[in-house]
Amino acid sequence: SYELTQPPSVSVSSGQTASITCSGDELGDKYACWYQKKPGQSPVLVIYQDSKRPSGIPERFSGSNSGNTATLTISGTQAMDEADYFCQAWDSSTAVFGTGTKVTVL
Amino acid sequence: EVQLVESGGGLAKPGGSLRLSCAASGFTFSDYSMNWVRQAPGKGLEWVSSITRSSTYIYYADSVEGRFTVSRDNAKNSLYLQMNSLRAEDTAVYYCARSPGGLYYFDYWGQGTLVTVSS
């Protein structure tokens, strides 16, 4: 079965840039998206179709996808960005979520 | 405003059944594919099932295939998940989520309903 692998944790100083990777076989040939998940809240879509931002998502969130790796970048990270982040893609009529990355803002 | 409200969660015994519902409002329900996604305590997100706009195509995760059945009633703007032969590992918060323009991403999510499977 298809797998998407993320680093378990990323730490970033407030105001700096955080990059979260998502690795999967030929992921660049699929559309990747990203969700933010805070404890006790529902997931929020922050990037879809590799690099598009939904309405209401701040410009500091950006995405890219090439080769075997999709990347979510948070520029000028704020305390409110502290959360778990999950990538997601479709493979053979199956939605696959990444393992998740906990972002800590120092 | 798009709203998705899940209900039907609760405590079930191993081998038991539950039926989850998701009431949709604020958009034309029949124009969207719908999905169920779950998150077990302390774990990541796990896709459970998807159903296309007219129920033409239905997909399940291997972990629930043969035990869970997804359905929808476009006249009632509702999505359902019939869960049979429940196992302890099915314990999770279950979210319904909307997919615009095909099954690529989930743009709106409900608040979730907790399912606990325990004797």
DSSP structure string for chain B: --EEEEE--EEE-TT--EEEEEEEESS-GGGSEEEEEEE-TTS-EEEEEEE-TTS--EEE-TTTTTTEEEEEETTTTEEEEEE-S--GGG-EEEEEEEESSSSS---EE---EEEEE--
Could you tell me the pLDDT band of residue B104, with boundaries at 50, 70 and 90? confident
Partner-chain contact A35 B106, CB within 8 Å: yes
- Cβ count near B41 (within 10 Å): 9
Residues of chain A with pLDDT under 70: none
Whether the CB-CB separation of B78 and B25 falls below 8 Å is answered with no
Size of the A and B interface in Cβ pairs below 8 Å:
60
Alpha-carbon distance B58 to B36, whole Å? 12
pLDDT in tens, A8-33: 999 999 999 999 999 999 999 999 99
Q: Closest residue of B to A41, CA-based?
A: B111
> Max CA-CA distance within chain B?
41
Chain B: residue nearest A102 by CA?
Answer: B44
Burial class for A20, CB neighbours closer than 10 Å (0-12, 13-18, 19+): buried
- Residue B103 pLDDT > 80, yes or no? no
Query: Lowest-pLDDT range, A8-17, B84-93, B98-107?
Result: B98-107
pLDDT in tens, B13-47: 999 999 999 999 999 999 999 999 999 999 999 99
Query: Which residue of B lies nearest to A52 if distances are taken between CA atoms?
Result: B105
Under an 8 A CB cutoff, do A42 and B112 touch? yes
The helix (H) or strand (E) run that includes residue A89 is: strand A83-91
Distance, in Å, from the CA atom of B47 to the CA atom of B39, rounded to the nearest integer, reads 9
Asked if B59 lies within 8 A of A94 by C-beta distance, the reply is: yes
Spell out which residues of chain A touch residue B111, defining contact as CB-CB under 8 Å: 42
Q: How confident is the model at residue B102 (pLDDT cuts 50, 70, 90)?
A: confident
Chain B contact present for A58, CB below 8 A: no
